[in-house]
């Protein structure tokens, strides 16, 4: 295990593991968020959000997830810089699109855009939920008192088309990131071969479309319906 | 059907490894579409010699697609605008009359230019020297039936062994990574009984050497396998990752 991170495969291994972990989070996050569009009273989403914020397992996972994000982002920039240095004199003419996809070549750019969104997203919701929960108001569902998280989220989308468009764009960008990231993560840890490459790439595309449409359908729903 | 082309060749000129290079444009006329790209370069060089100019230096040897010596980045693609071929197997029928063709050397810190279009690829030899061999004497040729190797495994090993070490994978890769080359060399040995014994150590040493020499890491864009003249698959890279991680986690 000596100097694991001094070798590119070791560093990529970290990108892959944190990436897979974040994709699992994305699945849970998306499922919960879709509660927003299935119950306009907000009860379903509020119960879900309350469960997440009181569940001890989630409490344990939260710092681990944050660490995963931080490692993924820091290593993204390190890896990119190291790879950038390998070609001091570039080509005058390149025809890169013949041999690779645009999103595969621009993972850092897409990731950095997702990161920008992430910061805004945390300010919009996470900050309020954690540090300013009095601003949210309370609801009582089946005798349990809880924060009205639904009002916070729905309020943002009902009140602002700009935010709606921003959240939709972010969902689509994440889809692009994952259409390469999903299969790439498995390839990196060695789980791939001649038979599995085309299969994983198909699953990758399906997963990306689900993530992109899933996340962008939520603001769209509030923009159209309200 | 044979026809003839008039072309402008824009080519990289560089006197030596430490000199500054630049592009120079030349006109060539009446080039048969049946001639190969390197024959066109020969015609151009002959013209330059007759004009008392210095000919353009480029690498080549077998001119039949097997040695891995030829290496030109033509119109934005390693080995030019055709698939599964080396530069010496590229024909002029792939170009249009009146076209400007840009010819560059492989670009990578690990492949410094020696002169014009010739780059120094000894880095590949150094990677091989770091572990791309079997270090025990295997004796005389044993009876073929003594070591049973399933046909599909034998074929995979053979496919990996098709790598001719041309370096197009490095030239194509946005990270100048040599992972396709290294993975082909690791795989051809790791798949067969004699090579298996040392496969973990080999993967580790070769990858470490690759990075020490200034090649980048893999980000799975797969440009290498598309541009590789020998169709080496990126499934070899998955195998290399597997061998490397196994080696790391077993220590
Ligand atoms: C929810 C957010 C994110 C998820 C689910 C995610 C997921 C992934 C996955 C699965 C991979 C593939 C790992 C591999 O190739 O082995 C990956 C790669 C990568 N990600 Fe992310 N990522 C996210 C956010 C970000 C952010 C914020 C950045 C940058 C600031 C970023 C930059 C990158 C880069 C540069 C790669 C490497 C791509 C490559 O090797 O080709 N990602 N990501
Ligand atoms: S893997 Fe393909 S492109 Fe790379 S050196 Fe071998 S033959 Fe050339
Ligand atoms: S000259 Fe030998 S492969 Fe092209």
Q: What is the mean pLDDT of residues B121-138?
A: 93
pLDDT number for residue A4 = 87
- Rounded Cα distance between B8 and A119, Å, is 52
pLDDT number for residue B139 = 79
Distance from CA of A5 to the nearest CA of B (A): 11
Tokens 């082909």, residue located: B184
Angle of CA points A149, A152, A153, to nearest 5°: 90
User: Which stretches of A93-160 are DSSP H helices?
Assistant: 102-105, 107-121, 127-131, 149-159
- DSSP 8-state assignment for residue B119: E
Final residue of a structural domain among B75, B90, B115: B115
Q: Is B72 helix (H, G, I), strand (E, B) or coil?
A: coil
Pocket of ligand 3 contains residue B86 by CB under 6 Å: yes
In this structure, the answer to whether residues B64 and B152 fall within a common structural domain is no
pLDDT number for residue B180 = 98
Final residue of a structural domain among B71, B94, B115: B115
In this structure, the answer to whether residues B161 and B51 fall within a common structural domain is no
Residues on A contacting B at a C-beta cutoff of 8 Å: 1-2, 4, 7-13, 79, 82-83, 85-96, 98-101, 104-105, 107, 180, 183-184, 187-194, 197
B64: phi then psi, degrees, rounded to nearest 5: -135, 25
Structural domain boundaries enclosing B198: 122-249
Number of domains chain B contains: 2
Domain CATH number, residue B242: 1.10.1060.10
For chain A, percent of residues with pLDDT exceeding 90: 88
Q: In whole angstroms, how far apart are CA A189 and each of A107, A183, A185, B115?
A: 18, 10, 7, 40
For chain A, percent of residues with pLDDT exceeding 70: 99
Where residue B140 falls among pLDDT bands split at 50, 70, 90?
Answer: confident
In this structure, the answer to whether residues B127 and B243 fall within a common structural domain is yes
Where residue A30 falls among pLDDT bands split at 50, 70, 90?
Answer: very high
- DSSP 8-state assignment for residue A122: I
In this structure, the answer to whether residues B149 and B228 fall within a common structural domain is yes
In this structure, the answer to whether residues B152 and B65 fall within a common structural domain is no
pLDDT number for residue A171 = 98
DSSP states of B149-201 as a string? Answer: --HHHHHHHHHHTT-----HHHHH-TT-B-HHHHHHHHHHHHTSHHHHTTHHH
In this structure, the answer to whether residues B14 and B39 fall within a common structural domain is yes
pLDDT, tens digit, for every residue of A189-223? 999 999 999 999 999 999 999 999 999 999 999 99
Average pLDDT, chain B: 96
Q: Do B175 and A192 touch (CB under 8 A)?
A: no
**Residue B35 region by backbone torsions, left for phi larger than 0, else alpha for psi between -120 and 50, else beta:** beta
In this structure, the answer to whether residues B137 and B210 fall within a common structural domain is yes
Closest CA to B231 of B65, B71, B110: B65
Q: Do B219 and A79 touch (CB under 8 A)?
A: yes
For chain B, percent of residues with pLDDT exceeding 70: 100
In this structure, the answer to whether residues B92 and B189 fall within a common structural domain is no
Where residue A66 falls among pLDDT bands split at 50, 70, 90?
Answer: very high
Q: Do B76 and A107 touch (CB under 8 A)?
A: no
Q: Which of A75, A106, A177, A212 to mutate to test the pocket of ligand 1 (most atoms within 8 A of CB)?
A: A177
Final residue of a structural domain among B65, B89, B115: B115
Q: What is the separation, in whole angstroms, between the first and last Cα of chain B?
A: 62
Q: Do B223 and A100 touch (CB under 8 A)?
A: yes
DSSP states of A1-66 as a string? Answer: -TTGGGSHHHHHHHHHHHHHHHHHHHHHHHHHHHHHHH-TTSHHHHHHHHHHHH-HHHHHHHHHHH
Classify burial at B31, counting beta carbons within 10 Å of its beta carbon; exposed 0-12, middle 13-18, buried 19 or more.
Answer: buried
pLDDT number for residue A137 = 85
Q: Which of B65, B106, B118, B228 to mutate to test the pocket of ligand 3 (most atoms within 8 A of CB)?
A: B65
B73: phi then psi, degrees, rounded to nearest 5: -100, 100
In this structure, the answer to whether residues B55 and B168 fall within a common structural domain is no
The answer to whether residue B86 scores a pLDDT higher than 80 is yes
In this structure, the answer to whether residues B129 and B106 fall within a common structural domain is no
- DSSP 8-state assignment for residue B141: P
- pTM value? 0.94
The tokens describing A176, both together, are 């692009």
Pocket of ligand 3 contains residue B85 by CB under 6 Å: no
For chain B, percent of residues with pLDDT exceeding 90: 90
Chain A and chain B share a number of CB contacts under 8 A equal to: 136
pLDDT number for residue B30 = 97
Q: Do B104 and A9 touch (CB under 8 A)?
A: no
Angle of CA points A72, A74, A79, to nearest 5°: 90
Domain CATH number, residue B23: 3.10.20.30
Q: Which of B177, B217, B218, B220 to mutate to test the pocket of ligand 1 (most atoms within 8 A of CB)?
A: B220
Where residue A135 falls among pLDDT bands split at 50, 70, 90?
Answer: confident
Closest CA to B183 of B162, B167, B160: B160
Closest CA to A189 of A8, A10, A13: A13
**Ligand 2 centre distance from Cα of residue B31 (Å):** 29
Distance from CA of B226 to the nearest CA of A (A): 6
In this structure, the answer to whether residues B193 and B164 fall within a common structural domain is yes
Q: In whole angstroms, how far apart are CA B119 and each of A45, A212, B130, B176?
A: 62, 44, 21, 14
Q: What is the mean pLDDT of residues B211-233?
A: 97
pLDDT number for residue B190 = 95
Q: In whole angstroms, how far apart are CA B167 and each of A150, B154, B204, B225?
A: 57, 25, 20, 12
Consecutive H or E run containing B122: helix B122-129
Contact in structure between A17 and A189 (CB atoms under 8 Å): yes
Closest CB from B76, B238, B243 relative to A187: B238
DSSP states of A155-214 as a string? Answer: HHHHH-HHHHHHHHHHHHHHHHHHHHHHHHHHHHTT---TTHHHHHHHHHHHHHHHHHHH
**Ligand 2 centre distance from Cα of residue A108 (Å):** 27
pLDDT, tens digit, for every residue of B8-67? 999 999 999 999 999 999 999 999 999 999 999 999 999 999 999 999 999 999 999 999
**Ligand 3 centre distance from Cα of residue B78 (Å):** 13
Average pLDDT, chain A: 94
Least confident piece of the model among A49-58, A187-196, B137-146? B137-146
- For residue B29, count other CB atoms closer than 10 A to its CB: 10
In this structure, the answer to whether residues B77 and B147 fall within a common structural domain is no
Q: What is the mean pLDDT of residues B193-203?
A: 91
Pocket of ligand 2 (CB under 6 A): B 163-169, 180-181, 184, 228-230, 232
The number of the ligand 3 atom at minimal distance from the alpha carbon of B68 is 3
According to DSSP, the residues that pair with B102 across neighbouring strands are B10
Please report residues of B whose CB lies closer than 8 A to that of A90. Answer: 107
Q: Whose CA is nearest to atom 1 of ligand 2?
A: B181
Interface test with B, best of A87, A102, A194 (most B CBs within 10 A): A87
Comparing A68 with A132, which gets the higher pLDDT? A68
pLDDT number for residue B105 = 98
Please report residues of B whose CB lies closer than 8 A to that of A4. Answer: 248
**Ligand 2 centre distance from Cα of residue B179 (Å):** 10
Interface test with A, best of B20, B73, B78, B216 (most A CBs within 10 A): B216
Edge-to-edge strand list for the sheet holding B100-104: B22-32, B4-13, B100-104, B73-74, B77-78
A-facing residues of B in 122-181 (CB < 8 A) are 156, 172, 174-177
Contact in structure between A215 and A170 (CB atoms under 8 Å): yes
Nearest CA in chain A to B236: A193
The answer to whether residue B129 scores a pLDDT higher than 60 is yes
pLDDT number for residue A1 = 52
Q: Is A120 helix (H, G, I), strand (E, B) or coil?
A: helix
- Rounded Cα distance between B247 and B198, Å, is 10
pLDDT number for residue A2 = 58
In chain A the domains, ranked by start, together with CATH numbers, are 2-225 (1.20.1300)
Pocket of ligand 1 contains residue A200 by CB under 6 Å: no
Q: What is the mean pLDDT of residues B123-134?
A: 97
B9: phi then psi, degrees, rounded to nearest 5: -110, 115
Q: In whole angstroms, how far apart are CA A208 and each of A48, A100, A171, A174, A181?
A: 24, 18, 10, 8, 9
């Amino acid at each position: 295990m000596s100097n694991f991170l001094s070798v590119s495969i070791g560093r990529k291994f970290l990108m892959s593991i944190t990436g897979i972990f974040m994709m699992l989070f994305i699945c849970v996050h998306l499922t919960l968020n879709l509660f927003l569009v299935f119950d306009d009273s907000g009860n379903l989403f509020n119960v879900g959000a309350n469960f997440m914020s009181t569940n001890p397992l989630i409490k344990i996972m939260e710092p681990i997830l944050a660490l995963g994000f931080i490692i993924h982002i820091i290593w993204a920039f390190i890896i990119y810089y190291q790879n950038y240095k390998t070609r001091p004199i570039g080509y005058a003419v390149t025809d890169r699109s013949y041999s690779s996809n645009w999103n595969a070549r621009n993972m850092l750019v897409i990731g950095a855009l997702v990161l920008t969104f992430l910061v805004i997203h945390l300010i919009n919701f996470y900050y309020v939920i954690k540090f300013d929960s009095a601003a949210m108001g309370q609801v009582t569902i089946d005798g349990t008192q809880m924060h009205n998280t639904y009002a916070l989220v729905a309020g943002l989308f009902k009140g602002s088309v700009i935010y709606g468009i921003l959240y939709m764009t972010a969902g689509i960008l994440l889809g692009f990131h994952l259409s390469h990231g999903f299969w790439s993560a498995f390839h990196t840890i060695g789980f791939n071969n001649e038979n599995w490459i085309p299969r994983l790439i198909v699953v990758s595309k399906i997963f990306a479309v689900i993530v992109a449409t899933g996340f962008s359908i939520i603001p769209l729903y509030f923009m159209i319906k309200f | 059907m044979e026809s003839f082309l008039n072309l402008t060749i824009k080519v990289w000129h560089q006197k030596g490894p430490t000199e500054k290079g630049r592009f120079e444009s030349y006109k060539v006329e009446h080039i048969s579409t049946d001639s190969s790209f390197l024959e066109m370069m020969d015609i151009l060089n002959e013209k330059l010699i007759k004009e008392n100019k210095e000919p353009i230096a480029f690498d080549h040897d077998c001119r039949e697609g097997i040695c891995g010596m030829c290496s030109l980045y033509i119109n934005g693609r390693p080995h030019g605008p055709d698939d599964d071929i080396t530069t010496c197997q590229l024909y002029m029928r792939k170009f249009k009359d009146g076209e400007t063709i840009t010819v560059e050397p492989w670009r990578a810190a690990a492949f410094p230019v020696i002169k014009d279009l010739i780059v120094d690829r000894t880095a590949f030899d150094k990677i091989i020297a770091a572990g791309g061999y079997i270090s025990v004497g295997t004796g005389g040729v044993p009876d073929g039936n003594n070591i049973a190797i399933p046909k599909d495994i034998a074929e995979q090993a053979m496919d990996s062994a098709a790598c001719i070490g041309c370096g197009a994978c490095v030239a194509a890769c946005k990270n100048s990574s040599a992972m396709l080359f290294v993975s082909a060399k690791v795989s051809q040995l790791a798949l067969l009984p004699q090579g298996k014994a040392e496969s973990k150590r080999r993967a580790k040493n070769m990858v470490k050497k690759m990075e020490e020499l200034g090649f980048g890491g893999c980000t799975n864009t797969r440009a290498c396998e598309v541009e590789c003249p020998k169709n080496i698959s990126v499934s070899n890279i998955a195998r290399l990752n597997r061998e490397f991680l196994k080696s790391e986690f077993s220590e």
